[in-house]
């Protein structure tokens, strides 16, 4: 390969690597959004069923059954199911769309809603976390 061909090759290689990395990032973001929405949907279901007479013991049983079904998958502890319910209820009570937090990692969403009670402050951190720099700050 002569020098011109080598420079062209290097540029193509860099371009292809960037495309692959972007595709990986886009895939991760899509999966993350879907999982966050699924967790919020679980929270909604638990919240609605609790209002119609389910006791808290059902959450414990759901945790056991979900963990048995999805062996090795984290996120279905009794504590996390309660968190899903509470976060859903906070979104509902404050008229915040689930889409507003769908781009956030569930861990960031959990952290924001468990540590910050002020609505304006939460909104600030939700917006901040949506940026790459903001996510790195967590």
Chain segment 12-68, per-residue pLDDT in tens:
999 999 999 999 999 998 999 999 999 999 999 999 999 998 887 899 999 999 999
What pLDDT score does 84 carry? 96
For residue 123, give the nearest of 37, 25, 104, 71 by alpha carbon: 104
CB atoms within 10 A of CB 37: 14
Q: How is residue 71 annotated by DSSP?
A: T
Residue 5 covered by a domain: no
Helix (H, G, I), strand (E, B) or coil at 94: coil
CB 91 within 8 Å of CB 101: yes
Residue 16 covered by a domain: no
Residue 78 covered by a domain: yes
Residue 130 covered by a domain: yes
Its domain, for residue 92, covers 35-137
Spacing of C-alpha 43 from chain mean position:
13
Residue 1 covered by a domain: no
Rounded-to-integer distance, Cα 95 and Cα 138, Å:
25
Question: pLDDT-based confidence at 2, cuts 50/70/90?
Answer: confident
Rounded-to-integer distance, Cα 62 and Cα 69, Å:
10
Rounded to 5 degrees, φ, ψ at 116 are -115, 120
Residue 10 covered by a domain: no
What pLDDT score does 123 carry? 86
Residue 67 covered by a domain: yes
Residue 14 covered by a domain: no
Number of separate domains in the chain: 1
């Amino acid at each position: 390969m002569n020098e011109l061909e080598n420079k062209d090759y290097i540029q193509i290689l860099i371009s292809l690597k960037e495309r692959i990395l972007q595709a990986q990032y886009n895939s991760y973001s899509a999966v993350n959004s879907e999982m966050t929405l699924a967790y919020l949907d679980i929270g909604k279901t638990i919240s609605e069923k609790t209002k119609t007479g389910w006791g808290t013991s059902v959450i414990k049983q759901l945790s056991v059954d979900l963990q048995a079904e999805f062996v090795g998958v984290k996120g279905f502890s009794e504590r996390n199911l309660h968190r899903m319910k509470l976060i859903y209820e906070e979104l509902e009570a404050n008229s915040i769309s689930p889409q507003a937090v769908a781009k956030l990692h569930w861990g960031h969403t959990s952290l924001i809603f468990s540590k910050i009670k002020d609505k304006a402050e939460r909104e600030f951190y939700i917006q901040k976390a949506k940026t790459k720099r903001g996510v790195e700050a967590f």
